[in-house]
Structure 1
Amino acid sequence: MNPIRFATPPRHEAAEALRHDVRAFLHDRLAHVPPIRRADSWTGVDKDFTRAMGARGWLGMTWPKCYGGHERSAFERYVVMEETLAAGAPVGAHWIGDRQSGPTLLKFGTEAQRRAVLPRIAAGQAMFCIGMSE
């Protein structure tokens, strides 16, 4: 029986370098956004911001490259999510696709669905919504 292998978290220095890059990006992109708008981070929608996140490789971070992903660690993804939420970045346009719809397609989607949709999510070009009732 093969043991389960987990991705090795990046060295501390690599994680801090990523954190620095994300913070610099957020500083540049959000300098003009007033605090009242940053308070709507999770529901804030800015398609240009989402496409810029995709261009930086910060969407679909843990997904396979063949689907537009970047095969980075879950820890690196956490660093990016932590910084964007702390800065009040408008993540609403990509949050559901990156966090829920994409992983669902990875696990349950057909190969055709994965190839058609996942690269668009990772590039920040496809947006999703979901309906829930608690």
Structure 2
Amino acid sequence: MEKTKLNKLTDEQICFQLILHSGNARSKVIQSLREYRAGSVGKAEKLLVQAEEDLRQSHDIHFQMVQQEAGGKKQDVSLLLIHAEDHLMSSLTMKELVYELLEIFKDKIQDAPNRIEGR
């Protein structure tokens, strides 16, 4: 994906880019969990890789915003910006949680033959 250049966007467009990419990532993370549960491990892993790319885009936009503010360009705090920030942070949290859940599921699957044999 091409890097989003903030100097070509309005504040509202920047917020919507954050919402777009983090929302796409969140959808892919949830779908990966569903795919894993359905037994499609490869598809689940592919979705997580795609989600990481979306989150990288969001993080890059966010980092540019922080750099601009550190350089003296004050950011107006709007309800839209707060929503965009919330979207990004909840998507990052969800990603971490799903990664942990998948590890737990993998451990349970690996332990399943031992549990059956131990009966």
TM-score range normalised by the length of the shorter chain: 0.3 to 0.5
Q: Which has the higher helix share?
A: 2
TM-score (ref. length: structure 1):
0.32
- Greater RCO between the two (CA within 8 Å, min separation 6)? 2
Larger radius of gyration: 2
- TM-score (structure 2 length as normaliser): 0.34
